[in-house]
Amino acid sequence: MDHDVIIIGGSFAGLSAAMQLARARRSVLVLDTGAPRNRYAAASHGFPGQDGKRPAHIRGALRVELDAYPTVTFLDAEAVQASRQGAGFHLSLAAGDALTAKRLILAYGVRDTLPDLPGLSERWGTGVLHCPYCHGYELNRQPVGVLARNETAMHQAMLLPDWGPTTLFTQGAFAPTPEQRHTLAARGVVLEVTPIAALLGPAPALEAVRLADGREIPIAGLFIAPQTSPASDLATSLGCETTDGPTGPYLAVDAMQTTNVPGVFAAGDVATPAANATLAAAAGVLAGVAAHRSLIFDPDLTGAR
């Protein structure tokens, strides 16, 4: 085998997994396409020790730390096919090369499918957001909105008044019950049933939304729950099971980030319904430890744990 472990994905989860394996002096290759989900965000917040730093800066610092370990290598490449090969795995790369490893860690994240609204996509990560814990504080208690896609909007709208005066734009996708309307009103949430037609202001900032009837409502941030899907089909080709989440499917893992396929582990946004930098890094730690233990206690990939 070329490597003990190949990690597919070079953001917080993948690099955290690599660190654990590097410290066990295992041969690790990190494959990275250079297109992490958080590339649109100006800063990462709520990540202990890294609050306010650019995601690219955090990733760069982690790679510098990993460079101190001689058993870790990086390759800017995309894996397009994966299969079991004996007591390990075979990977095919987009460039046509092939690699083998005893274990795989899938940390390639998810893709976001955004609502089709004029002005929305160019504000993703700045004026259009998904997580108030990550980005709400920087809006400085200015008016914010929730763009409904389904009943998930109820949860978002209940949270957001702690960050600013909140309007829930139902968009014809969510009709609150009388009880839900009462609950929202108790939190000070304003309901708006006229759909948003466009987002306004100098992108990527957001100043207001224009409704279908021509009214303009000032808001500094619009929160959405985008539809998500795995950023790669590798898990499918390997036979990994998925679980349906509120925004889309994610890989089913146990408490140690182990998938149903012996020797395959997963961490980060691809393996959780809760996208968060700190949680991604923690999951990567668990996946790295689990992959190392698998090499020791299940060398033939019989499925023992």
Q: What is the pLDDT of residue 304?
A: 52
Is residue 62 included in any domain, yes or no? yes
The CA distance from 271 to 304, in Å, is 21
What DSSP line would sit under 134-159, residue for residue?
A: HHTGGGTT--EEEE-SSTHHHHHHHH
* Domain enclosing residue 172, as ranges: 115-223
- Domains in the chain: how many in total? 2
> Is 183 in the same domain as 100?
no
Q: What is the pLDDT of residues 126-179, one digit of tens each?
A: 999 999 999 999 999 999 999 999 999 999 999 999 999 999 999 999 999 999
Q: What is the pLDDT of residues 212-252, one digit of tens each?
A: 999 999 999 999 999 999 999 999 999 999 999 999 999 99
**At which of 201, 223, 245 does a domain end?**
223
> Is 290 in the same domain as 189?
no
> Is 162 in the same domain as 240?
no
In 3D, which of 249, 246, 253, 278 has the Cα closest to residue 267?
253
Both tokens of 129, joined, read 């957001």
**At which of 223, 253, 279 does a domain end?**
223
Q: What is the pLDDT of residues 190-214, one digit of tens each?
A: 999 999 999 999 999 999 999 999 9
Q: What is the pLDDT of residue 303?
A: 67
**At which of 166, 198, 223 does a domain end?**
223
Q: What is the pLDDT of residue 51?
A: 87
> Is 140 in the same domain as 215?
yes
Is residue 271 included in any domain, yes or no? yes
> Is 151 in the same domain as 106?
no
Q: What is the pLDDT of residues 57-115, one digit of tens each?
A: 999 999 999 999 999 999 999 999 999 999 999 999 999 999 999 999 999 999 999 99
Residue 283 clears pLDDT 80, i.e. is over it: yes
Is residue 285 included in any domain, yes or no? yes
> Is 194 in the same domain as 256?
no
CB-CB contact of 169 with 146 (8 Å) = yes
Is residue 247 included in any domain, yes or no? yes
Q: CATH code at 180?
A: 3.50.50.60
